Amino acid sequence: MEYKVTVATGTSEYSGTNNYIYVTLVGERGESERTVLDNPGLDFCRGAVDDYTVKSAADLGPLILVRLEKQKYWVEDNWFCRYVKVSVPGERCSYTFPCYRWLVGDKVVIELREGTAKKISDDTLPLEISHRTAELLERQKIYRWLAWAPGIPKCIDAKSEADLPQDVRFDNEKRSDFVGSLHYALLELSLKKLAIKFGKSWNDLDDFKRIFWKLRSPIAEYTMKHWKEDSFFGYQFLNGSNPRMITRCKELPSNFLVMGDMVQSSLIPTTTLKEELMKGNIFLVDHAIMDGIPANVIRDQAQHIAAPLCLLYEHPEKGLIPISIQLEQKPDKDTPIFLPSDPPLAWLLAKMWVRHSEFQVFQLLSHLLRTHLVVEVICVATLRQLPAVHTIYKLLAPHLRYTLEINCRGRTQLISPDGIFKRVVSTGGDGLLILAQREYEVLTYRFLYSVLLILMTVDVLWSDHEVEQDSEIQAWINEVAVEGFVDVPHFGLASELKTKEELITLLSVVIFTSTAQHAATNNGQFDWCAWVPNTPCTMRHPPPTDKDAVTMDLIMDTLPDISQSCLQMAITWHLGRAQPDAIPMGQYVEQYFTEPAALKVIDKFRKELKELEEHIIAQNEGLELQYLYLCPSRMENSITI
């Protein structure tokens, strides 16, 4: 028998190899010859799809595995294999074996299952079952849990991204762009020249325009022009990077000392605060979670934190506008209530303090904790408990791409003891961990599935009995709940799945969090934070207690200094910009599913996403400020930045 074997090499830099590659086909009736794959000329070049002939003494029957081996030729040269296809002599059918893995080292061997998704109950042959077991045992040695900090979900056991296996690392292009883009941003802002003036304040608000050069966006420029306006301040609570904090207020909190007569001038003349509360037109943003968080010390200068409460009113003509601000959670008789009727600079500074708290909450809690770290738990558990042939592994794999590396980089470069948060953010240092621990005391699984996708693929392929009896699925959810979230006791995720609906819900949460939720918090951060006074990363003076004492000099001495401002702008551009190698939601470069039924569902999903995008664009047409962060073409399939 002669089989036609097609081998596809990866398309990224350094995917090709000059090492020896061997293949063995394994079927129900035996194995083929171990065959070196060697055509005239160069084999396994970057992006190549090469055909070879593999011989067997007899018909192998239905194919189960493809065994690939790599051996050194002169020097070690890693190889990324996308897939292997095998055509059977005399038959129209062919087998596809998805790989999407690196072969690293000399005399390395990997075995690939045929691409049809299979639950453990679908495998009946001893070879199939032993392969599943061996694959998971090997992965469990490679991917290990680490308790990063008390009260925080566990993470991958890696001191830095360099400790990660090659299969979950950035491609070379991604790695080069990640490092290069930050250097570019810092150079564009002339940080090396400006940072010489450590601790020096800007002279006035217009000075911030000096770092608005090439790094800009239409929304960032709009923010620069309109950030002082009350209506724009209110707009950002619904359309900015942190839309989860605002709530409808039916009754004022007992610690918010605002009275009806204080805000009457902000309401329409024919109503009162009490009436608008009853009508549902009053809203509250409460940053109580910030209360008592220890502030950072940067270059021997203490930074400052507030825990403001902000009351907003849905005005029939002006839209959502702030009507009162209190900067402390435990006020006394001397605690000021800031109002739009106050001296303009006092009201402006009070709004800055609210936006400063927004920066802390959205960057650390809404963005890092509620998306990055939650999805990392799923990623590690998936790698440890679901074999590549499992339906759920195939479904989730595209939504876990690059997440482990970006999280490792975040822990070592962003929130580490000497990271960017420590250098420029008021919650850097000890406050960061305390704030994170507080968030996980209140974050629940139920909250995460308040918005869901409907994954009909699972609905079609599974029944309640199959979910409950799937030992790999049960090991997976147990690992998520008992290992990943063991230090988050109030999270509320059960350690077993009993029904199809529970599985659908969990998968929906994972995919929604890694796509739409992450896009909503991450993608607009440069737009809203590039103009530093709109969303300052730190405050260098305490909150004001005397409205009449607020001057422009006090405001400039309170806002981030020159070097802090430059770094805030550079980092938010670096992390919020569109990634050059982004894979949009619903596009699957790595095709783990091969069967027609699954491909049909994927095609239907893509069409629905296209219709949704057209609807979003139509809704935004003609708007000066457009909300396009959740266009499917602008949402990545996974958390990669």
Q: Please tell me the distance from the alpha carbon of residue 303 to that of residue 541, in angstroms, as a whole number.
A: 7
Was 574 annotated as part of a binding site?
A: no
Q: Rounded distance, CA 8 to CA 393, Å? A: 21
Vertex 171 angle, CA 165 and 177, to 5°: 130
The token pair at 340 is 């739009």
* Separation in Å, CA 557 to CA 317, 550, 562: 36, 11, 11
Q: Distance between CA atoms of 404 and 411, rounded to whole angstroms?
A: 11
- Does 16 carry a binding-site annotation? yes
Q: Which residues contact 540 (CB under 8 A, 6 or more apart)?
A: 301, 303, 304, 557, 558, 559, 560, 561
**φ and ψ at 537, to 5 degrees?**
-80, -20
Contact at 8 Å (CB) between 326 and 287? Answer: no
Annotated binding residue 367: yes
Residues in the chain: 641
**Phi, psi values for residue 8, rounded to 5°:** -110, 125
Q: Is 77 known as a binding-site position?
A: yes
β-partners of residue 312 are: 283, 322
Partner residues linked to 102 by β-bridges: 80
Q: Which residues contact 60 (CB under 8 A, 6 or more apart)?
A: 1, 3, 25, 26, 27, 28, 29, 30, 31, 32
Residue at token pair 């966006």: 217
Side chain identity at residue 220, one-letter code: A
Residue type at 156 in one-letter notation = I
CA distance 241 to 218: 16
Is 172 annotated in a binding site? The answer is: no
- What distance in Å separates the CA atoms of residue 440 and residue 100, rounded to the nearest whole number? 35
Cβ neighbours of residue 557 under 8 Å, at least 6 residues apart? 201, 540, 541
399 is in an annotated binding site: no
- CA 154 vs CA 145, 175, 392, 482, 518: distances in Å: 6, 25, 22, 10, 19
**Ramachandran angles phi, psi of 263, nearest 5°:** -105, 5
Crossing angle for the helix pair 562-576 and 172-188, to the nearest 10 degrees: 150
Could you give the CA distance from residue 37 to residue 114 in angstroms, rounded to a whole number?
Answer: 20
DSSP-assigned letter for residue 542: P
Binding residues for Ca(2+): 16, 38-39, 77
State the binding site: 16, 38-39, 77, 367, 372, 518, 641
Q: Give the residue ranges of the annotated binding site for Fe cation.
A: 367, 372, 518, 641
